[in-house]
Structure 1
Amino acid sequence: MPTVPLDRRIVAVKPITVPAPGRGVDLTVKVTAPLSGPDLPVLVFSHGNAWSMDGYEPLVDRWAAAGFVVVQPTHLDSRRNGIGWDDPRFATVWRVRIADLHAVLDGLGAILRQAGDLETRADRDRVAVVGHSWGAQTAGTLLGARVLDAEGVPGEDFSHPAAAAGALIAATGTGETLTPFAAEHLPFMRPDYSTMTAPTLVVAGGRDQSQLSTRGPEWFSDAYHLSPSPKSLLTIAEGEHTLGGLAGEAVAETTDEDPARVALVADTISAYLGDALGLDDAAWAALRDAAAAGDGGWSITSR
């Protein structure tokens, strides 16, 4: 597989508080970026359930080394906030997650000012949103996806004009096959991808069997198949939900520990966003050529 040169030193700044009136808990973010270099694209990352801005270093550090300014908010469902399934606040956490990403994008200038000299080095005209698991559904709404209500009626349009492209890792599929637990506790897990028009890379694992759906791993490719083009799909045949350990090395929920798999996910997203944001198409073209050779247990399709 072609790899992105990782010869840049990176720096992280945290915590930075972002104004979020009425949230109840301060919204804080971590910013990770190359130590030097101009015109850096921005990537806003939404974590999976219970994580925080301190997770996903294997992904984030690799993106920063590839030239991105990465902003990671800590959502309300983070373990550090103690809001579990039975907490009455949990029913609206999905909306607060979306509001968090809007607050980050709306306040991006102030965030960058508090992170050293990034206000002058970041390219705020090239912004992407990325998420994993629940974070993928959250990020997808900023790219145009909506949430269906119990009657199947699409809800509000949460898209954000600054989100020019994105990547959804292990994104929730459609809601018709939710398990009883998911239907009771996660009724918002009913995405409508028909309005997700922004260029998006969907990443799915061929062995990702969710306990929230009665369907198989193909559930996680709905975001690709049910949304309008332009879209691309990275399928990793042996990948499970953490795709090698995206959230960190040797974390408890990783069932398929594989650092090379994590690097593949990180580098494919970097390459895709570099192309989608009009920065450089060479890395993405090389990855597609490597996938076409069919010798790595992964594939890329586009439409």
Structure 2
Amino acid sequence: MHLHQLAQQIMAIKPVPVPTTGRDIDLAVKVTAPVSGHDLPVIVFSHGNAWSMDGYEPLVDRWAAAGFVVVQPTHLDARRHGLGFDDPRFGTIWRVRIADLHAVLDNLDDILTQAGLAGRIDRERVAAVGHSWGGQSVGTLLGARVLDADGTPGEDFSHPSVKAGALLAATGTGDSLTPFAVEHLPFMRPDYSTMTTPALVVTGGKDQSALSTRGPEWFTDAYHLSPAPKSLFTITDGEHTLGGIAGEQVAETSDEDPARVALVADAVSAYLLDTFDLDGTAWKALTESAAASDGAYRVEHK
């Protein structure tokens, strides 16, 4: 199936305002959903650094076509807000991102009512998914914590309504940060030992981060260092944008591959449908196809 040939009609509504505090720029979200259907599972999606609710359409549209309602906040680090590394507010954006996600989850019914979706979702099947910095943000909702400079775990940001998650190219542990990352991104010290919520970790086998002195395996820490149940989906030739998940022909995409983007989208939806006990056939098929993919992609479980 090509990216533009979706299985069913979808619709998108934006912006939907969300009440929150500690922000001098209002929080808003985009909601994408199937035109029809009830008891729909929900994905709350956290974008990577500098992006916004307007990115990641190739992923989000496929998830909506697969039967999910997707809610995308625009975090403070969005390019449109102009907060660079030297802005005094930048050092606390990681906390504001988490607060944004909590605000979305706490106001989910009101958000969906404003989007014309009242009564169409399954409140017991809510997942959180994030890419890059968004992956670390989402990890905290699943139980991961952030270590301070002394290695002491910070507060518990887990959210009770999140029953499953997916981390795409998410930050590894902080013991190998480059000097730039230590100076500007000291919060990139996740402790995954308490990330108990079921999750899929998606990594690119050629994702070499400029923020870590380690290789692509840095991005597998969320899988290896967290408690079961977890699954790891590795795309051997994938780089940080995993084929261009933020959008077609985006400048920062170094491994443009629409088929790879579709594979990532379908892996996440298949995993969540299986984890939510809605339909296990697609996830079983993906696991089997990985074994026959001649190493193009791999699936591991624990």
Taking the aligned partners of 1:147 and 1:246, their CA distance within structure 2 comes to 26
State the alpha-carbon separation in 2 of the partners of residues 114 and 227 from structure 1: 37
Alignment correspondent of 1:243: 242
| CA shift for structure 1 position 296 | 5.8
String of CA shifts for 1:117-139, please: whole Å, max 9, x gaps.
x1211111100000000000000
The equivalences for 1:100-139 within 5 A come to 100-116=100-116, 118-139=117-138
For 1:88, what is the secondary structure of its paired residue? coil
Matches within 5 A, 1:248-259: 248-259=247-258
2:282 partner SS: helix
How many residues in Structure 1 have an aligned counterpart in Structure 2? Answer: 300
Compared CA separation, residues 7 and 294, structure 1 to 2 (3 A) = closer
Name the SS of the counterpart of 2:259 in structure 1: helix
1:287 paired residue number: 286
Other structure's SS at 2:279 match: coil
Q: Which runs of 4+ in 1 moved over 3 A?
A: none
**1:23 Cα shift?**
1.1
Deviations 1:26-49 (A, max 9, x none): 000000000001111000000000
Q: Deviations over 1:225-248 (max 9, x none)?
A: 000000000000000000100000
CA RMSD, 1 decimal? 1.2
Letter in 2 for 1:211: A
Whole-angstrom distance in 2 between the partners of 1:218 and 1:142 = 23
CA distance in structure 1 between the partners assigned to 2:257 and 2:146 by the alignment = 33
Q: Which residue of 1 aligns with 2:210?
A: 211
Unmatched tracts of structure 1, length 5 or more: none
TM-score, length-scaled by structure 1: 0.97
Letter in 1 for 2:248: E
Give the percent of matched residue pairs that are identical in Structure 1 and Structure 2. Answer: 74
**Secondary structure of the corresponding residue to residue 127 of structure 2:** strand
> Is the 2:178–2:210 contact (alpha carbons within 8 Å) kept by the matching residues of 1?
yes
Distance in 2, matches of 1:251 and 1:160, equals 32
Name the counterpart of 1:273: 272
Distance 1:194 1:292 in 2: 29
Q: How far, CA to CA, are the matches of 2:295 and 2:247 in structure 1?
A: 23
For residues 248 and 81 of structure 1, the distance between their equivalents in structure 2, rounded to whole angstroms, comes to 20
Q: Secondary structure at the match of 2:83?
A: coil
TM-score by length of 2: 0.98
Question: Which residue pairs with 1:97 in the alignment?
Answer: 97
Which one-letter code corresponds to 2:113 in the other structure?
R
Residues in 1 aligned to 2:94 and 2:281: alpha-carbon distance in whole angstroms? 37
Query: Is the aligned partner of 1:88 residue 2:88?
Result: yes
Paired amino acid for 1:101 = L
* One-letter amino acid of the structure 2 residue matched with residue 112 of structure 1: L
Partner of 1:170: 169
User: 1:150: which partner in 2?
Assistant: 149
**Counterparts of 1:136 and 1:277, CA distance in 2:** 20
On the 8 A contact 2:236/2:295 being kept in 1, the answer is no
> Aligned AA for 1:84?
G
- Separation in structure 1 between the aligned mates of residue 194 and residue 202 of structure 2, nearest angstrom: 19
Name stretches of at least 5 consecutive residues in structure 2 with no aligned partner: none
